[in-house]
Chain A
Amino acid sequence: MSPETSHSHDEHDQGGVPFLPDHFVKEVAVIALVMGILIFLATLMPSPMGLPADPLKTPLGIKPEWYFLSVYQILKYVPKTIGIAWSFLIFPPILIIFPFFYRFYARFKYGRLILHTVVAIGVFLAVFLAALAYLGFE
């Protein structure tokens, strides 16, 4: 449960299964499965083209792509500047640098448990907000 202070650079050469053929066979199986699903989707549910862009005709219910929906929904509830500052200026740097504080928070008995719980709640919240946006809740 402690950080790997004395890790070996050769740890991937100790124990475990050899890459060829054991692991490689599984990789080929996963690749085949993913390719199968993608070709299934692309052939049976082809991407629609829709009407050409018209700056004068605003369609009903404009929404950004699904991966921006949670941010889009937050902006309905909090002041725009705060929501955007959080989503694009505050959250991304935190996401990038938090591992550098591991040795600090791992010293506390429940440090990691608290962090993992907060993130799990955040993930559920993001999915929930995206679902609300998808369904068009104001």
Chain B
Amino acid sequence: MSLGVVDFLDERLDVRRISREFAEHKVPDHVNWLYCFGGITFLCFLIQAATGVLLAFYYRPGSDTAYTSVLHIMDDMPYGVVIRSLHAWTANIMIIMVIVHMLRVFFHGAYRPPRELNWVTGVLLFFMTVTFGFSGYLLPMNQLSYWATKVGTEIAGAMPFVGGYLQDFLLAGSKIGDATLTRFYTIHVIILPIVLSMFLAAHFYMIRKQGIADPL
């Protein structure tokens, strides 16, 4: 019966060859524990996706509703405190892991030709991860998130040439309010997950295509 299913899929989708390639591909001998940080970053991303969906079930963006909805998650939902704390801790650990992964790749010289394009996608993934953190920090709408976002958007506003436009885009108004929250929420749960997933797919495809870089 189960063999029947595998045969069915194999005839149509060549699944045996694909799974054999996945299982049997060789990992170079020089790969050691220093190579684990990219994978840990991906694990963090998966945890963020899972806990983020759970939080999104009950979170309500809006200057009147955001804070109380997060309190509701923490006080009334089963494991609400753990899920929110896991999301917050993993966000910080994820950024640390991206930075350590980047430093590992840099000092191993793994960015060198022909892997320049994978370095480019990696740096863009780093910027997206930081933007993830910045946009998520506002969402609980507590004192910390309000004032950190105020400082952050003021720094963005002081950028030469583009600052004014950037600040207008981020705040969606003259100050942090309902429109800012829905904008940050949209960036945090729709735009960034989609864009980051696409760049992640490109990042992983290039690793499989080009292999793990030889040591210097």
Contacts and interface: CB of A to CB of B under 8 A. Distances in A.
A37 B36 CA distance: 15
Contacts, number: 200
Given A15-B29, A20-B23, 19 more contacts: A3-B113, A4-B114, A9-B211, A11-B28, A12-B26, A18-B27, A30-B39, A34-B44, A47-B89, A53-B63, A63-B148, A65-B148, A68-B152, A84-B160, A85-B160, A88-B159, A96-B123, A99-B115, A119-B107
B123 A75 contact: no
A85 B163 CA distance: 10
A42 B28 contact: no
Name the interface size band of chain A: 35 or more
Contact of B43 (A31, A80, A81, A95): A31
A110 interface: no
Interface string B159-193: 11001000000000001100000000000000000
Given A57-B143, A58-B147, A41 B85 contact: yes
A52 B113 contact: no
Q: Is the interface of A mostly helix, strand, loop or mixed?
A: helix
Contacts of A52: 67, 141-143
Interface of A: 1, 3-5, 7-20, 22-23, 27, 30-31, 34-35, 37-39, 41-43, 45-47, 49-55, 57-59, 62-68, 71-72, 75, 80-81, 84-85, 88-89, 92, 95-100, 102-103, 106, 112, 116, 119-120, 123
Interface residues of B, number: 78
A18 B106 contact: no
B54 interface: no
B133 A67 contact: yes
19 contacts: A1-B216, A4-B112, A4-B113, A4-B213, A11-B214, A12-B208, A37-B93, A43-B82, A55-B146, A57-B143, A65-B133, A65-B137, A72-B151, A80-B158, A85-B159, A96-B123, A96-B124, A99-B113, A120-B107
B26 A67 contact: no
A38 B112 contact: no
Interface in B11-42: 22-29, 31, 36, 39-40
B53 interface: no
